[in-house]
Amino acid sequence: MNLPRQKLVVEDLRLGYWSRRSHSFSLACDGLSFDVAENEFVAIVGPSGCGKTTFLTALAGLTPVTSGRLELNGEQIEGPAPDRSLVFQHASLYPWRNVVANIEFGLKAQKRLDRRGRARVAELIDLVGLTGKEDTYPRELSGGMSQRVNLARALATDPDLLLLDEPFSALDAQTRELMQDELTRIWQSDGAGTGKTAVFITHDVPEAVFLADRVVVFSSGPARLVEIVDVRLPRPRGSEIKRTPQFQEIHDHILDLVMSQTQPGRRAAPHDSNAPVAG
């Protein structure tokens, strides 16, 4: 069998943190095991507060691993490193830097803002659709535009692993749809023909199905693995794919898994005709 190279290995991972208020250890993730292949786009869905964001911050190196393996390219993640970038939930742009300077921040921090770095930034501005906004300051940007800068800033350092923390959750419905389209387009066209390895956190099931190669479903907290769902939809994908029966089928299956986590009573329930429908 021709296995693709495993980029990210998660094995028996346990994450938690000391709560300052209650002086106790709260477990965020427990016994997680799965792999992410090179150039794969994996979405993680789960009920709110289940620990998926903690998992992502551990990948970013901001939360220490309690126990288990969390390896990128065969090396345990022990802190932030230039091989990973995070697209923040709220754009978290520096208001005193204009669009270009915000995108350049990562490169500057890693002392890579040379001619090639600047060329990369210029290319990204074009790719994410910020041409003409280079000198704009964040407070003049709309939510969607801010997230484009946020995304470009993460891509600028050319990371091995791109982490996205519900980047579209604060956007209105139309902008969100648009940004999902844009993200697939950007992901499909950035890099030499193949997309970057990406882990995308969301609680929006259609978003996960639309964007991902595989969707990992987390249980309610502490997060355990419920199921990994293959999304066998062709690429490149356009938004029209959301209206196909294959999309619906995968979507409904994942939504059922997520709902059974939020409402344990629903676990055995048959297909609900009132379940929200994508699109």
Q: Where does this chain bind another protein (CB under 8 A)?
A: 60-62, 80-82, 84-86, 88, 90, 92, 94-96, 105-106, 108-110, 137-139, 153, 157
Contact 211, 203 (CB under 8 A): no
Contact 105, 116 (CB under 8 A): no
Pick the closer one to another protein by CB: 63 or 261: 63
Q: How far is the CB of 11 from another protein (least distance, A)?
A: 24
Q: How far is the CB of 92 from another protein (least distance, A)?
A: 4
Pick the closer one to another protein by CB: 54 or 85: 85
Pick the closer one to another protein by CB: 150 or 180: 150
Q: How far is the CB of 118 from another protein (least distance, A)?
A: 17
Q: How far is the CB of 207 from another protein (least distance, A)?
A: 22
Pick the closer one to another protein by CB: 84 or 237: 84
Q: How far is the CB of 94 from another protein (least distance, A)?
A: 7
Burial 127-155 (b: 16+ CB within 10 A, else e): bbbbeebeebbbeebebbbbbbbbbbbbb
Would you give the DSSP letter of residue 4? P
Pick the closer one to another protein by CB: 27 or 81: 81
Distance of alpha carbon 140 from alpha carbon 55, whole angstroms: 32
102: Cβ contacts below 8 Å, ≥ 6 apart = 93, 94, 138, 149, 153
Q: How far is the CB of 219 from another protein (least distance, A)?
A: 27
Pick the closer one to another protein by CB: 196 or 237: 196
Neighbours of 29 (CB within 10 A): 27
For residue 185, give the H/E element and its range: helix 173-189
Q: Give the CA angle between residues 128, 51, 78 to the nearest 5°.
A: 75
